[in-house]
Amino acid sequence: MFAWRYNTYGGPIDVVEMPDPACPADGAVLKVEATGVCRSDWHAWRGHDPVPLPMVPGHEFAGEIVAVGPGVRSFVVGERVTSPFVNGCGSCSYCLSGQAQVCPEQTQPGFTHPGSFAEYVVVQHADMNLVQLPDALAYESAASLGCRFATAYHALTAQAGLRTGEWLLVVGAGGVGLSAIDVGKGLGARVAAVDTNPAALELAREMGADVVLGFDELGSVLDLTDGGPDVSLDAVGRPETAAAAVRSLRRRGRHVQVGLMLGPNAEAPLPWADVIAKELRVIGSHGMAAADYPAMLEAVASGKMHPQKLIGKRISFGGLGRALQEMDGVSAPGITVANM
């Protein structure tokens, strides 16, 4: 098969010919029909989130099953499927309780083994990690679910418990932030979006944000939301954005951290005086288990949520390397998806 691969952090990303992947006994091999280009792939390529080298990036994908191992019981060759980017082991207590997104033995295509910037990708422990796609959901829309949309959905439903009529503040209107806006509106919340990029804010407005603000205008969010949002979500992953999101909350509000805090930011401080005095909750969120996909897919099928609207740029397989490298600069709003 052909795949995009890098051999050094920050080095060239080249198309190479590799052997077709072997199918694990309890896994599956998918022919990749569409794959997203995510900033997490860029972090791995740049070495901010180190991965084994060489590496084929890509962890947001959808495709058709071309092989299943003898241990697979729930899926067959020919099915249209996707998978969350966190693949659980299927046997630990977290997986057995439906929380595969925090499995201590998790695998992640594009991070622990070759990913979806390729003709084929392996999903291990297929019965635990594959999700059958509705016929009406296009491959490119399904690929946009795998990391950013599913992460936002899990963050706001399972972690933050966002309720109808509450105010949600989304800091950062990139892929996961725009996803959070769409999910928030689908849950019946009112949404304020913050970013420094006017184009991103315009797209946030198109996704349904009730209020859009530049980062330097964040102080006005308390008045605009009648005392502060009930839930804040930092989709950026910087000390200043996380702290500002927490400070903005109304009393007894909930902050959910989705943006990756990497390198020196991993030890970033928070305004703990506010956390204590206002009885705030600070919550982490990491992907979403395949077991939770049916409710999200139902919301998409019903028209409450619209992952297809997040696709800002469509490219071919040949454009994947450049698309990843271009994240060194200011990324275009929305999600980039390659149709293979």
| CA separation for the pair 156, 161 (Å, rounded) | 6
| CA separation for the pair 127, 150 (Å, rounded) | 19
Task: Say what the pLDDT of residue 128 is.
Answer: 95
CA 34, 43, 239, 176: dihedral to nearest 10 degrees? 0
Tokens 């209107």 belong to 173
User: What mean pLDDT do residues 6-16 have?
Assistant: 96
- The half-sphere exposure of 337 on its side-chain side, counting CA atoms within 13 A, is 27
| CA separation for the pair 233, 102 (Å, rounded) | 19
pLDDT in tens, 143-183: 988 788 999 999 999 999 999 999 999 999 988 999 999 99
Cβ–Cβ < 8 Å for 291, 150: no
pLDDT in tens, 78-99: 999 999 999 999 999 999 999 9
User: What average pLDDT does the structure give for the chain?
Assistant: 95
The share of the chain scoring above pLDDT 70, in percent, equals: 99
Tokens 């769409």 belong to 182
| CA separation for the pair 121, 56 (Å, rounded) | 10
pLDDT in tens, 133-142: 999 999 999 9
Helix 175-186 to helix 198-206 angle, to the nearest 10 degrees?
20
pLDDT in tens, 19-75: 999 999 999 999 999 999 998 899 999 998 889 999 999 999 999 999 999 999 999
User: What are the residues whose beta carbons fall under 8 Å from the beta carbon of 162, sequence distance 6 or more?
Assistant: 156, 168, 184, 187, 189, 230, 231
Cα dihedral across residues 302, 152, 40, 286: positive or negative = negative
Residue 73 CA to its chain's centroid (Å): 28
Tokens for 61, please give them: 């994908």
Task: Say what the pLDDT of residue 97 is.
Answer: 95
Q: Which residue has the higher pLDDT, 263 or 73?
A: 73
129 has pLDDT over 80: yes
Task: Say what the pLDDT of residue 155 is.
Answer: 98
User: What mean pLDDT do residues 269-297 have?
Assistant: 96
Tokens 């795949």 belong to 3
Fold of 2-148+288-339: Quinone Oxidoreductase; Chain A, domain 1 (3.90.180)
pLDDT band at 333 (very low <50, low <70, confident <90, very high): confident
pLDDT in tens, 180-221: 999 999 999 999 999 999 999 999 999 999 999 998 898 899
Q: Which residues are registered as beta bridge partners of 61?
A: 35
| DSSP count for the chain of H helices, then E strands | 12, 15
Task: Say what the pLDDT of residue 189 is.
Answer: 98
Task: Say what the pLDDT of residue 323 is.
Answer: 94
* Largest CA-CA distance found in the chain, in angstroms, rounded: 59
pLDDT band at 6 (very low <50, low <70, confident <90, very high): very high
331 has pLDDT over 90: no
Closest CA to 121 of 224, 130, 38: 130
The share of the chain scoring above pLDDT 90, in percent, equals: 87
Q: Kindly report the CATH class assigned to 161-284.
A: alpha beta
Q: Where are the domains of the chain?
A: 2-148+288-339, 161-284
Exposed e or buried b per residue across 324-338, where buried means at least 16 C-beta atoms within 10 angstroms of its C-beta: beebeeebbbbbbbb
